[in-house]
Amino acid sequence: MEPKKNPKKDLSKNSSIYFTAGMALVLALTYLALEWKTFYNYEIDTTAMNYKDELREEVPITFDTPPPPPPPPVAPIVIEVVEDDDSIIESVIETTETDQEGAVLKVDDIPDIQIIDSVDVPFILVEDVPVFPGCEKAKDKRACFQTMMTKHIRKNFRYPEIAQEMGIEGRVHTTFIIQKDGSIGSIRMRGPDKNLEKEAARILSKLPQMTPGKQRGNAVRVPFSIPITFKLQ
């Protein structure tokens, strides 16, 4: 039986050789194309360049207009000169220096000027505190005064009926001044309700006549403050 293909005409017989040769040829052409270098010669005419003209900067010329001149001064008002006929009285300043010819006053000849201090002196700073009736013989009159004030408030205390019905309670801060004659004046109150303030004023109005406080031996006005507490049981 005869074969269908002629072995002499088999094209795949040397295909590997042809493929290898073609690959080598392509790589060689690619290498030559990448490594190919071309050099150009450029001639630059430096004589035609003028760097001075390019570096020169033109400065604009400006003209400053001077300010207008100031207006002429106003003519002064004519002042009429009036003769002064009044005579000048010169004051004579007498010297305060003493000399041997001056008379020397005796100590007894200088009048005694009594300075009465009219400024209110607080209770804690006054030298002689006001004396509450019954504290004349007490050693500590300040403590006795406060004790007698507490007894007086408890004795005359009366809770207002209107405040009880409305359930009002609180503390009323009171201040008053023991005058120079020992009487009570300038009573002031500050509390949560007018009825409580009215009751506090009534209690303080019943304070007795006191011995006034003294500062440097002179009777002075002495302010005193005390709170009155209204509390429902």
Give the tens place of pLDDT for each residue, 30-48: 988 888 776 655 555 555 5
The alpha-carbon radius of gyration of the chain (Å, integer) is 62
pLDDT, position 115 = 47
Convert the pLDDT of each residue in 74-111 to its tens digit: 766 665 655 655 555 555 556 666 666 656 555 555 55
DSSP letter, residue 105? P
Statement: residue 208 has pLDDT above 70? yes
Computed over every residue of the chain, the mean pLDDT equals 76
pLDDT, position 58 = 65
154 vs 83, which has greater pLDDT? 154
- From residue 74, alpha-carbon distances to 68, 77, 81 in Å are 17, 9, 21
Statement: residue 130 has pLDDT above 80? yes
157 vs 107, which has greater pLDDT? 157
Spatial CB neighbours of 220, under 8 Å, sequence gap ≥ 6? 117, 118, 119, 120, 121, 126, 180, 212, 213, 214
Statement: residue 52 has pLDDT above 60? no
Give residue for tokens 């760097």: 51
Convert the pLDDT of each residue in 175-206 to its tens digit: 888 888 888 888 888 888 888 888 888 888 88
Domains of the chain plus CATH, in order, are 141-230 (3.30.1150.10)
